[in-house]
Amino acid sequence: MHLSEPKQVEMFWMMLLARRLDERAWVLHRQGKIAFHISGIGQEAAQVGAAFALRRGEDWVVPYYRDLALMLCLGYTPREFMLSLMGKREDPSSGGRQMPSHWSLRRVNVVSHSAPVATQTPHAVGVALAIKLRREDKVVLTTIGEGATSQGEWYEAVNWAAVHRLPVVFMVENNGYAISEPVEKQMAVEGAAARACGLGLEGVAVDGTDALAVYAAVARSVEKARSGEGPTLIEARMYRLTPHSSDDDDRTYRTREEVEAAKRRDPLLRMRQHLEAQGWLTPEGLERMEAEAKALVEDAVDYATRAPYPAPEEAAYPVFSAEVRRG
């Protein structure tokens, strides 16, 4: 599963752009300009690795709220992210109805998801069932946090996919915590991959700070799914480098030393060092990328700041299909 130099550089670029957008969101929150942010910092490598293993725009993706980098790889734009953060009318996920980072992007087959965790997993399986019924060769990627794999709906869905050998890849982004609860409080097994054991599908644990390793694991699972050999459960191990959300104070349950140690294994840093070692990223190249990211982020903030809010009465619809309005 070799990825060319330009592809690997592009992966880094996606990770970098996601990181800078995410950091800007934290700043906006501190400035009181947005009400809420839930961060993907520390999880970019796994998301980008997974995205690059798909036929993007053709395969289906049922994501969860930390997947900013994944979304960017699929074609979600910085402006769209800022629109959603600010609850603006033009937000493509929901027109300001959902909290930020509750993605939906029909143009690239990203299904809308909600806040109750693990509700998205059965949807992914249903999409896969439909793909199989129609004998199409698409696959579904669905993501989730490790804490949410304790939910019954997650088990039901994974079990179903295994029974019916459906073309779906379940990727667990194990960032070590579910808000304050460490993995040991979610499962008696060592990690989410081991949960596959009793469900009858392959479970694979992979270093989620290594974009290339995740790419390889997901690419293999995607190929397997596409050729009718059924689902795979991938657990990408990483660390949540920020508090759970802008409403959380993680000092109440983990030490600064622990977080600082994890920062030394920052996936962005790791990818950069890898590219530098290959001679594929120069200091000037990096500087150009940083400048471009900054320009895109600021453009997005300006654009979204100027964009109109929805009119209050737009909250009345669309409860049913007949009320859907375009534009």
Partner 1 sequence: MAEMTLVEAIRRAMDEEMARDERVFIVGEDVGKRGGVFRATLGLYEKYGPERVVDSPLAEASIVGVGIGAALYGLRPICEIQFADFIFPAFNQIVSEAARMCYRSNGEWTVPLVIRAPYGGGIGGGLYHSQSVEAFFAHVPGLKVVIPSNPYDAKGLLKAAVRDPDPVLFLEPKKGYRLLRGEVPEEDYVVPIGPAHISRPGRDISLFTYGMMHYYALQAAEMVAAEGIEVEVVDLRTLAPVDRTTILESVRRTGKALIVHEDNLTGGYGAEVAATIAEGAFEFLDAPVRRLCGPDVPGVPFSHPLQDWFMPNAQKIADALRALAAY
Ligand X SMILES: Cc1ncc(C[n+]2csc(CCOP(=O)(O)OP(=O)(O)O)c2C)c(N)n1
User: Footprint of ligand X on this chain (CB under 6 A)?
Assistant: 66, 115-117, 145-148, 173, 175, 177-179, 240, 244
Q: How many CB atoms lie within 10 A of CB 258?
A: 12
Say whether 251 is catalytic. Answer: no
Phi-psi region of 222 (alpha: psi -120 to 50; beta: other; left: phi over 0): alpha
Q: CA 206 to CA 169: how far, in whole Å?
A: 14
Q: Which one of 220, 253, 254, 272 is the catalytic residue?
A: 253
Write the Ramachandran bin of 233: left for phi over 0, alpha for psi from -120 to 50, otherwise beta.
beta
Residue 244 CB, shortest distance to ligand X, in Å, is: 6
317 as an active site residue: the answer is no
Between 80 and 146, name the residue whose CB sits nearer to ligand X.
146
Site for partner 1, rule CB under 8 A:
60, 62, 92-95, 97-98, 102, 104-106, 111-112, 114, 116, 119, 121-131, 133, 152-153, 156-157, 159-160, 163, 317-326
Known active-site residue 244: yes
Q: CB 139 → partner 1: shortest distance, Å?
A: 13
The residue among 146 and 210 lying less far from ligand X, judged by its C-beta, is 146
Beta carbon of residue 48, minimum distance to ligand X (angstroms, whole number): 16
- What is the rounded CA–CA span in Å between residue 51 and residue 15? 11
Residue ranges of E strands in the chain: 60-62, 140-145, 168-174, 177-178, 181-182, 202-207, 232-237
Question: Rounded to the nearest whole angstrom, what is the least distance from the CB of residue 283 to ligand X in the complex?
Answer: 33
Using the minimum distance from each CB to partner 1, give the nearer residue, 153 or 299. 153
The residues pairing with 142 across neighbouring beta strands, listed in sequence order, are 62, 170
Cβ-based neighbour number of residue 216 at 10 Å: 17
Q: Which residues have a catalytic role annotated?
A: 240, 244, 253
